[in-house]
Chains A and B, each alone.
Chain A
């Protein structure tokens, strides 16, 4: 699967990439929401999943989530929020806006793998 990782931290993107690539996924990166939307304008059909940080400059993760969910070309894309914002109200807002899952930082590689498995499994019957 082609996965778009969106985080303003290069290290955070690499942490995700270093877990996802050995799982057989291909990873592309964006450092904020606006960059992510530009990538999706071209690659919406190829991208299967977006991992989205919440606090980012230029365009934050929640605004990006709303923009992706309002784009009919992106309807098939799974979205996993990956954020330090771990309070219930953030999780509830993200799920209500169309996120398929939420992973709070800090997380271990095993927790990321398990969360990816969960959202992929939940998406299959569609």
Chain B
């Protein structure tokens, strides 16, 4: 049974969703996003009302509370309007649907979002485990931070929402990209710890530079573990992308492993996209 939570939805939207999703879903309607525990739900639904700014804010808060877990956030419009979809999507929504649209199409889209992400095969874990172990080790050594690996899944569709990403291109025996994505507050904390200074001294320039150095060290130290294997790679220089709702591109046709790590009450994500030139998997 898929648990779906509706936040402050009208009876019209609630009954329409119940019909669209069928008996395999259990729907509950709550009055405020403050009461939501995102990870307990398979989908979160909001209704777009007359005040889109309030909805954008709600979506951003829910997306942050999901701590990088791929929980679809669906915005339902009772009827088509002229509010651009982009604002909903860049706030963290997965999909915007209108009840004016054909029910068959809406049903198919909603059910598509309920398909769970693929978990890695054992042979895929062979190249993911070194990244997991080295990420934990790098943060322990450089920032004295205890980091716990939470979960990994493959997704080619989920957009990772964070404030800043460090990305590094890989080439050689294997090709691809590795990226770390964090929210600003955790990034500032990590960089301050790496530099052994108070957080107040860490400005945007340090965070920007430090996130690049972080992905550089994670990738570089992991590279050694692949020596003599088809997963070995050479590093490019890191680049950094900043901005809420930013999106990263990965090489076409490749699978992206999303690795989630917890640090106290916060979380960050490592995206690993690694494809050996010799086809192994």
Contacts and interface: CB of A to CB of B under 8 A. Distances in A.
Co-complex (A, B): yes
Interface string A86-126: 11000000000000000011111100000000000000000
B209 A105 contact: no
B154 to A, nearest CB: 26
A14 B203 CA distance: 13
B206 A11 contact: yes
Interface string A35-51: 00000000000000000
Interface in A4-63: 8-12, 14-15, 18, 55-57
Contact of B221 (A8, A56, A86, A109): A86
B223 interface: yes
**Interface of chain B: mostly helix, strand, loop or mixed:** helix
Contacts of A105: 142, 216-217, 220-221
A55 B235 contact: yes
| Interface residues on chain B, size class | 20 to 34
Given A10-B205, A10-B206, A83 B220 contact: yes
Contacts of A70: none
B228 to A, nearest CB: 10
Nearest to B142: A106
A8 B212 CA distance: 10
B195 to A, nearest CB: 5
B150 interface: no
Contacts of A66: none
Interface in B194-230: 194-197, 205-206, 209-210, 212-213, 216-217, 219-221, 223-224, 227
B138 interface: yes
Contact of B220 (A11, A56, A86, A107): A86
Q: Interface of chain A, helix or strand or loop or mixed?
A: loop
A87 B227 contact: yes
> What size tier do the contact residues of chain A reach?
20 to 34
A10 B209 contact: yes
B32 interface: no
Given A9-B212, A14-B195, A108-B141, A87 B224 contact: yes
Contacts of B98: none
B191 interface: yes
Contacts of B142: 15, 105-108
B223 A8 contact: no
B195 A84 contact: no
B217 A84 contact: yes
B232 to A, nearest CB: 9
Given A87-B227, A104-B221, A105-B220, 5 more contacts: A18-B197, A83-B220, A84-B221, A105-B217, A106-B138
19 contacts: A8-B237, A10-B205, A10-B209, A11-B194, A11-B210, A14-B195, A14-B206, A55-B235, A84-B216, A84-B221, A86-B223, A87-B223, A104-B221, A105-B142, A105-B220, A106-B137, A106-B138, A106-B221, A108-B142
Interface of A: 8-12, 14-15, 18, 55-57, 83-87, 104-109
